[in-house]
Structures are given as C-alpha cells and as structure tokens.
C-alpha cells in the first residue's frame, strides 16, 4: 500500500554560534523546499526555537531570488540565532505550534545543543502521534560533532586561523626587538581543532606557530615558560596559539570567568582573559614584552577568509536535509563521509540523531603530538582540503 505524501509547511531555524556559512545551509534548504509540492510554505523562525514558541515567523518563499542569493553569501545568521534551552513541557508547546500551523517539516541548523533540542521535539511529536519530519543540519566551527568527518563552518574558521597566524608571525618577526612574543587566542570550546589549524601553513621548525596549547593537553606553567625561552633563544621571536579553554592538570580553566554571567543556558562556561594571563606569566618569568590578539567571534564569520569548499558543503547539507525528509527520513543529522582516494571528496549520509547529543569529538592523538605540542602530518592531510583554494605563501627577505 502506497503511503500518502506528507503535505504541510516547513520551518527552518538557526541556532548556536553564527558562522560564515550558516546562511548557505539556510538557502540550500530553502531552495530545495521551494521545488516540491509537498512543502506548501517555507517559514523561517526568528531566533531559533524561541521564534516557534513566540509564534514569530517569516515567509521565506516570498523573498526575491536575488535577496536569497545575497543572504547565502553573507555572514552570521540571517534569521537570528539563539542558545535557548527548552524548559519542561516546552517541547509539547512546540508541537502545539506545529499543529496550529500544519508544520510538518522542521530543519534546524546548529551544533551539539541543537541536536539535543531536535531530539526532544521529535520524541514529543512521536508521543503525540503527530507526523513530523525533523532533520538536523550540522554547524559548528568547533568541529566537535560526532559521526561526521567535519562540520560546516570549520573549514572557513580553519582558513582564518592558518592565514592570520602567518600574518601575525611576520609582524612579530619584524617587531621582535620590541615585542618578541605574540599569543593568539582562538575559540574551540573543549577541543583543539581550530588551534591545530593555525599550523597548517607551517613548513619548518622556524615557521610560526612555535607553540600550540589545546584543551586536550593539560597546561603546565613551568613547561610553557621553558618552551617560550627555548624558542626565543633558537628563533628570536615566538608565536603561541592557544585555545581559550586550556586547562591545568586538575581541569581548571586558565581563563575561567569568575564574575557576572559565567555560563550559557546549556551550562557551557564562559571564558575571559586566557591569553592575557599567559602574557603576564611570560613577562613575570622572562621580563620581556608579550602581546596578545583575541579575534573572538570575528574569526567564526569572517568572509575575507571564506572557504569555497565550506560554502558548497554547507549549501549541500541544506539540500540533502530537505531531500531526505521528503523521502520519509526523520530524526537524523546530515553527516559528511570522506571518500577514499587521493582527491578530496565527500558523500552525505544520514546519522541517527540519538548519536549526537551530549558528546564531543576531541582532536585525536594521530593528529597531534602532545609531547612536542604540534600537529602531525596526518592532520595536514585531513584539514588542508577543507580550507578551499590554495593559499599563497607570504614573501620574506633573508640575510
């Protein structure tokens, strides 16, 4: 017996930290949804799950193709984002809203916490016997989602990290008689994927970065000071790239925030001043000037460092989410699987949503040498294709 097609509206929402390619996924899903009769309307929810609870929607189908194309190539989240955690009973409220508007397809672009939210909503729909297709479109610069080769947003952030580290290196090399140490503090929550990317253009021991500090490897002050001193003696200047969430052996974050709002609604701790603290350590022990740069949220949505590969894959993730929902799939995330062979290529495969929440994928040992504090060649083979088009090397004079 042939099953009747599920006909109704679709809602697309964006959640979590914004990226340079999150709108590519939005537009990919919109374009795919526009081409089918099963989806009668495509609505955007303002500010993630909050828009659904507050009955705050925008009809995306009425927007001009030119505007939609421009949005795809714009940074940040066009629909507005959110880190709202559903309270007890609110998943049922979401389903009530869906029933009210005959919303049968729900696509949400986000990371780990988004997966958790979607799973709660999908389970609530099943409990109430409401036919609803729920698809998770992945997004996170942290690159820490399970069951996928990598995440949309990471490639562009990695490109930013790799290029800006080389730019900072040339500046510090030139200014080494005044400012011989530069610390660059990058994001990444509990994993070192972004920090590792800062070394992707390093070709020799003398090239920056010289020291990498990631959350997976406990920070030791004495070892750190020794590394800085040796690097200065050997090279003359020192570029250090750190994660904002590095920890000591007891698990305490070096840059933990102690006053004001200290964590987000999902319990993730905010950090502040990690690079500043390390700079103070260096000045105290070595009596030299240590400067630091903290690009913060700028790094995750910089269009000047965009990866075309990242853009294309994010767009395709949105398309596949809609295609799969129309085939009857639900409670899955769009996963990326790398194809074997020398030439980089991926396939898109559905991952059961239950496998995603409350887990994080850390930088593996085969990608990072903890003793040397530096990436391995295997990481370069993994990450370089994600940066997109080749990056030209900067020129330098030699004596």
The residues annotated as belonging to the active site are 142
**Alpha carbon of residue 286 to chain centroid:** 36
In sequence order, the 6+-apart residues with CB closer than 8 A to the CB of 290 are 179, 181, 182, 183, 278, 279, 280, 282, 283
Q: Kindly provide the b/e burial profile for residues 66-86, where b requires at least 16 CB atoms within 10 angstroms of the residue's own CB.
A: eebeebbebbbbbbbbbbbeb
In sequence order, the 6+-apart residues with CB closer than 8 A to the CB of 57 are 11, 43, 44, 45, 46, 51, 101
What is the C-alpha separation between 316 and 319, in angstroms, rounded?
5
What is the C-alpha separation between 24 and 43, in angstroms, rounded?
16
Q: E strands within 6-53?
A: 8-14, 39-45
Residue 303: count of CB within 10 angstroms of its CB: 13
């Amino acid at each position: 017996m042939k099953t009747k097609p599920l006909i109704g509206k679709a809602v697309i929402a964006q959640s979590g930290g914004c990226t340079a390619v999150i709108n590519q996924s939005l537009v990919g899903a919109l374009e795919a949804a526009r081409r089918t009769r099963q989806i009668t309307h495509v609505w955007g929810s303002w500010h993630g799950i909050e828009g659904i609870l507050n009955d705050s929607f925008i009809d995306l189908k009425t927007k001009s193709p030119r505007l939609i194309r421009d949005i795809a190539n714009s940074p940040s989240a066009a629909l507005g984002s959110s880190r709202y955690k559903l309270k007890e009973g609110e998943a049922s409220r979401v389903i009530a809203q869906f029933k009210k508007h005959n919303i049968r397809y729900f696509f949400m672009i986000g990371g780990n916490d988004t997966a958790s939210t979607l799973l709660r909503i999908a389970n609530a729909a099943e409990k109430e016997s409401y036919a609803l297709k729920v698809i998770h479109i992945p997004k996170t610069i942290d690159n820490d989602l399970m069951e996928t080769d990598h995440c949309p947003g990471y490639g562009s952030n990695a490109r930013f990290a790799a290029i800006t580290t080389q730019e900072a290196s040339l500046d510090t090399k030139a200014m080494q008689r005044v400012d011989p140490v530069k610390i660059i503090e990058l994001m990444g929550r509990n994993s070192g994927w972004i920090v590792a990317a800062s070394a992707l253009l390093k070709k020799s021991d003398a090239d920056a970065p010289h020291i990498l500090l990631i959350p997976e490897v406990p920070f030791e002050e004495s070892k750190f000071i020794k590394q800085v001193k040796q690097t200065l003696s050997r090279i003359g200047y020192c570029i250090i790239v750190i994660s904002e969430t590095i920890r000591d052996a007891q698990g305490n974050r070096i840059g933990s925030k102690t006053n004001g709002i200290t964590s987000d609604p999902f319990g993730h701790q905010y950090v502040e001043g990690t690079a500043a603290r390390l700079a103070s350590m260096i000045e105290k022990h070595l009596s030299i000037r240590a400067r630091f740069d903290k690009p913060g949220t700028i790094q995750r949505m910089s269009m000047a460092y965009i990866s075309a590969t990242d853009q294309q894959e994010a767009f395709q993730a949105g398309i596949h989410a809609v295609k799969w929902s129309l085939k009857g799939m639900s409670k899955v995330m769009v996963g990326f699987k790398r194809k074997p062979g020398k030439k980089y290529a991926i396939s898109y495969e559905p991952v059961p949503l239950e496998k995603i929440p409350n887990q994080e994928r850390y930088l593996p040992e085969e990608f990072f040498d903890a003793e040397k504090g530096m990436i391995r060649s295997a990481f370069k083979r993994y990450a370089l294709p994600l940066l997109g088009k080749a990056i030209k090397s900067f020129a330098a004079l030699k004596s």
